[in-house]
Structure 1
Amino acid sequence: MRNKFLRALVFLFSFAIAGYAVVQYGLLDASKAGLVAFKLQKPDFQLTPWVYVLYIHIATGILALLIGPFQIFMKQTKKRSLLHKRLGYVYVISITISGIVGIYLSFFATGGAAAGLGFLALDVLWVATTWTAIRKIIGKNVQAHQAWMLRSYALTFAGVTLRLWLAPMAILFGDFEAGYRVVAWLCWVPNLFIIEAIIRNLASRTPQSPTLFNS
């Protein structure tokens, strides 16, 4: 029952936030969308090429956010193994692109160096955990592969938790930029602690199984 509830929450939030981002950045006037509108308030900021890199980061991040739950929760069978691999390739490529351009964006982060460092660490760890998972599956260590992919998706899910934390932190600090500095860290550090606890719990329950979720 608890696993089903967790699964429902992950699907709900990932699809809801992905839909919100598509509407905000894809269907609205770009100059009124989120960070773009905030950057336009600063007359000395050069919007290009930053805005194009931002859209690459958002598009690839959304793709990874939507693929992740299917990879984690989809029951593994021989028939689905090919689909799992193909979705995995798209997931890894999406994160690699999004993470690399995210490093560029971190140097222009709203909130200055404190926020930029938070996002830089997030992007580096995001790509690193994902490719560590790839190394593990190449070595045929399925359980380690799943554990590292869970860490990878916990960082992917920062796209959700960032938006959940942003309004409360902006209200708490009374200033958007001050709140954003905190959210740059708050959106992913707790995610890693939570997923690590989940990984340890799953491993302790199925110590002899080669898999975590689909055993």
Structure 2
Amino acid sequence: MNKRKLSWAVLLCYLGILAFVEYILLAYGFNDPRKASIVSGKFENPEFSFNTWRIFFYFHIVTGAIALILGPFQLLKKSRKNIHIHRSIGKIYVTSIFLSVPVGIYLAFYATGGIGSTIGFLILDIFWFATTFIGLKRIRERKIQSHQRWMIRSYAITLVFVTFRLLMPITVFLLHLGFSVGFPLAIIISIIINLSLTERYLKKKRKGLAKSDYTLKTPTI
């Protein structure tokens, strides 16, 4: 992917993030969260504590939003040119995810849609933690290219926040699957879409690097 295409991809990421943040603010910031359709059903669970859930939820949203906002900048060559800034932002990105995942596990057990949604969100948390942890491990081993690939995968999972919100109304309302089926289905499809596109990009990038490496090594007459 050339610089212009990457810049457009980053711009599209930020536009998606902006729309996501606006949605969260409208649904859970300016309005009473208890009136939101995905929250009102939780009160049927006698063990559900709205005040506790709200603290965990807002913490999860803030830490997730930090990762969403920082991720695209880290992908730019401009970020990698200044190693100190890149490392500092990287540390904040990783920390925000490591803080968000345990909170996400708690929230998963009160997910709208029941056990299917709980399993879906737990899978999402495992993928989120694993890709980020491996990316961190690779840079500590000074395996830079592997680190870059895993952090791209990590951000693909981070973007499930956005992809899920786009797919959920389709699976739940448009297809009339309801929360018990539509919610977990939207989570799994979002993970598959994001990781599939990521692996396709990484494969194309590896082929490009191999081709240029072959060109450099090929003797000229």
TM range (shorter): 0.7 to 0.9
Match of 1:213 in 2: none
The answer as to 2:195 corresponding to 1:192 is yes
Amino acid at match of 1:121: I
Q: Of the candidates 4, 10, 15, which is equivalent to residue 12 of structure 1?
A: 15
Residue 89 in 1 paired to residue 91 in 2? yes
Unaligned 5+ segments in structure 2 are 213-221
Task: Give, in whole Å, the separation in 1 of the partners of 2:80 and 2:5.
Answer: 23
Structure 2 match to 1:153: 155
Give the Cα separation in 2 of the matches to 1:31 and 1:65. Answer: 25
CA contact (8 A) 1:36 1:51 kept: no
Q: Name the structure 2 match of 1:110.
A: 112
* Percentage of identical aligned residues: 36
Any idea what SS the aligned residue of 1:109 has? coil
Measure the CA separation in 1 of the matches of 2:113 and 2:175. Answer: 16
Of 133, 136, 143, 1:134 maps to 136
Greater shift in the superposed pair: 173-182 or 92-101 = 173-182
Structure 1 residue ranges (4+ consecutive) displaced by more than 4 angstroms after TM superposition? none
TM-score with structure 1 setting the length: 0.86
Residue 52 (structure 2) aligns with: 49
The answer to whether the 8 Å contact 1:126/1:155 transfers is yes
CA RMSD of aligned residues (A): 2.1
Higher Cα Rg, which structure: 2
> Is 185-194 or 123-132 further displaced after alignment?
185-194
Mapped to 2, the partners of 1:136 and 1:158 lie a distance apart of 23
Structure 1 unaligned residues grouped into runs of 5+:
210-215
Point out the structure with the larger helix share.
Answer: 2
Q: Tell me the alpha carbon deviations over residues 60-84 of structure 1, each in whole angstroms, 9 at most, x when there is no partner.
A: 1111111111111242454x22221
What is the total number of aligned residue pairs between the two structures?
207
Cα deviation, residue 38, structure 1 = 3.8
The whole-number CA distance in structure 1 between the counterparts of 2:50 and 2:209 is 51
